[in-house]
Amino acid sequence: MEAKRIVEGYIEFCLNPDNVVSSWVRKLCQRHLDDLERASQPDAKFFFSEEDARHVLSVFGHLQFSQGRWRGKPFELLPWQTFVLWMAYGWRRVDNGQRRYSKVYIKVARKNGKTEFLAGIGIYGQYFDQEEKDAQVYWFATKKDQATIGFDRQKAMTELLIRKSPGFATKARVMQYRIRGRGDNSFTAYLGQDSKGEDGLSPFYGLCDEYHAHPTDGMMHVIESGMGSRVSPMMWIITTAGVLPDGPCARFEKICKQILDGVVESDDVLPVIFDLDPEDDWQDEKNWAKPNPGLGASVSIDFLRAEYRKAITEGTAKQINFQTKNLNVWQKAAVAWVKAEDWRANTDGLTRADIMERMKGRLCFGGLDLASTQDLCTLALVFPPEDEGEPWYVLQWSWAPEETIDRRARLDAVPYLQWLNDGYLTATPGNVTDYAYIKKQVLAVQSMFDLHSVGFDRASSQKLIPELIEEGVEMQPFGQGFVSMSAPSKSLEVLALSRQLEHGSDPVLAWAMSNVVILADPAGNIKPAKNKSVDKIDPVVALIMAIGQANQHLTDIESRGGSPVLIINA
Alpha-carbon torsion 347, 353, 359, 365, what sign?
positive
Say whether pLDDT at 558 is over 60: no
Report the mean per-residue pLDDT for the chain. Answer: 91
Q: Kind of pairing, strands 517-520 and 526-528?
A: antiparallel
Closest CA to 13 of 300, 293, 328: 293
Residue 411: its pLDDT value, please? 65
404 and 392 Cβ atoms separated by less than 8 Å: no
Asked if 96 contacts 278 with a C-beta cutoff of 8 angstroms, the reply is: no
How many C-beta atoms lie closer than 10 Å to residue 284's C-beta? 9
The per-residue pLDDT for range 438-463, each reduced to its tens digit, is 999 999 999 999 999 999 998 776 78
Backbone angles phi, psi at 188, to 5 degrees: -120, 135
How far apart CA 177 and CA 554 sit, in angstroms, is 41
In tens, the pLDDT along 356-395 reads 999 999 999 999 998 666 778 999 999 999 988 899 999 9
Q: How far apart are CA 147 and CA 140, in angstroms?
A: 5
Q: Please report how many Cα atoms fall inside a 13 Å half-sphere around the Cα of residue 14, on the Cβ side.
A: 26
Query: Is 46 strand, coil or helix?
Result: strand
Residue among 110, 332, 311, 325 at smallest CA distance from 243: 332
Contact yes or no for 237/202 (Cβ under 8 A): no
Q: What is the pLDDT of residue 570?
A: 45
Closest alpha carbon to 20 in 277, 282, 289, 276: 289
Nearest 10 degrees: Cα torsion 20, 24, 30, 34: 180
Average pLDDT over every residue of 169-196? 90
Q: Calculate the alpha carbon distances from 398 to 348, 351, 365, 367, 371 in Å.
A: 23, 17, 16, 12, 12
The confidence band for 101, taking pLDDT boundaries of 50, 70 and 90, is very high
Cβ atoms 108, 276 nearer than 8 A: no
How crowded is residue 192: how many other Cβ atoms within 10 Å of its Cβ?
A: 17
pTM of the shown model: 0.76
pLDDT of residue 564: 41
Residues 424-442 pLDDT 10s: 999 999 888 889 999 999 9
Question: pLDDT per residue over 61-75, tens digit each?
Answer: 999 999 888 899 999
**Any alpha helices (H) in 124-206, and if so which ranges?**
144-164, 166-169
Specify the amino acid at residue 408.
Answer: R
